[in-house]
Amino acid sequence: MNTTHHRLTAAAGACAAAAGAIFIGVQINHPPADLAHIVTTDVLVREVAKIAMSVFAMVGLTGIFIRHYRRFGVLGRAGYTLLMTGYLAMFAVESMVAVILPKLAESNPVYVRHFLDAAMGASATSDLGHMKELFMLMGLGYALGGLLFGIAMYRARVVPRWVAALLAYGTTSALALAVLPESFSRPFAVPTGVALIGLGFSMWRQSQTRTDAVRSARATEPAVA
């Protein structure tokens, strides 16, 4: 039972590290979020990678949350809930960008342009329906949830403190994109990506340490008897 639990922790850690690596990787030479590029294969591949990233991140963060549930307290639970909401909204938005927007690029280019602007944090100048609420959930859930969850991890000491601090900083810094040019969104993703990689590696090390301890205890049982 313990070995299975530690393996699940290691798997969750691998997912968190993969999410961080993807989050950084997709930013390299990322084309502008505009009509000219939304229909390209390059953007499609990147959006599919972002969809995978959001899933991996949710699995990894859920793994650390379940493992140390009691140590997080109310702050950690609130942060986890908000952060999961942000990543779920991100999953939905990236899915729309990958599947729906390329089909609308020719028939309704104005909507696509405003959708992309709003997704990047700019104020929408046309009616996007309930997409505004989805963008708000994504932005606030990701930023506020990351801040609270990072603080909770920092206080609980369940991962290296630099990982918790970097997660809180990286997610919160995304709020500045509302007033900064789109080009800033690429480097701003790096701290969160590094934090997720650090989180994943920390979880993997914890699982390996616990597994080795269990094996050592089992190996010494006959000698003790």
Q: Are 9 and 209 contacting, i.e. CB atoms less than 8 angstroms apart?
A: no
Of the CA atoms within 13 Å of residue 116, those in its CB half-sphere come to: 24
Q: How many CB atoms lie within 10 A of CB 10?
A: 20
**Is 225 contained in some domain?**
no
Residue 182's pLDDT is: 63
| pLDDT-based confidence at residue 125 (cuts at 50, 70, 90) | low
| pLDDT-based confidence at residue 225 (cuts at 50, 70, 90) | very low
**Is 170 contained in some domain?**
yes
Residue 57 is encoded by which pair of tokens?
């991140």
Q: Are 109 and 35 contacting, i.e. CB atoms less than 8 angstroms apart?
A: yes
- Mark out the alpha helices in 28-160 (DSSP H runs): 35-38, 41-67, 69-99, 101-107, 109-119, 131-156
Residue 133 is encoded by which pair of tokens?
């609420």
**Is 148 contained in some domain?**
yes
pLDDT in tens, 77-97: 999 999 999 999 999 999 999
Closest CA to 170 of 62, 72, 35, 27: 27
Residue 67 is encoded by which pair of tokens?
């493992």
Res 20 pLDDT > 60: yes
**Is 215 contained in some domain?**
yes
194 φ, ψ (degrees, to nearest 5): -65, -40
Closest CA to 171 of 59, 73, 114, 90: 90
**Is 178 contained in some domain?**
yes
- Residues 40-51 as b or e (16 or more Cβ within 10 Å = b): eeebeebbebbb
Which domain range does residue 36 map to? 2-220
Calpha distance 80→144 (Å, rounded):
10
| pLDDT-based confidence at residue 2 (cuts at 50, 70, 90) | low
**Is 190 contained in some domain?**
yes
Any idea which residue has 């997409």 for tokens?
131
Residue 4 is encoded by which pair of tokens?
């299975």
The residue with greater pLDDT, 184 or 187, is 187
Average pLDDT over residues 135-148: 94
**Is 16 contained in some domain?**
yes
Res 222 pLDDT > 60: no
Q: Is the dihedral of CA 38, 43, 47, 48 positive or negative?
A: positive
**Is 113 contained in some domain?**
yes
Q: pTM of the predicted model, to two decimals? A: 0.85
Structural domains in the chain (count): 1
| pLDDT-based confidence at residue 221 (cuts at 50, 70, 90) | low
The residue with greater pLDDT, 132 or 55, is 55
Res 8 pLDDT > 80: yes
pLDDT in tens, 33-67: 788 889 899 999 999 999 999 999 999 999 999 99
Calpha distance 11→145 (Å, rounded):
23
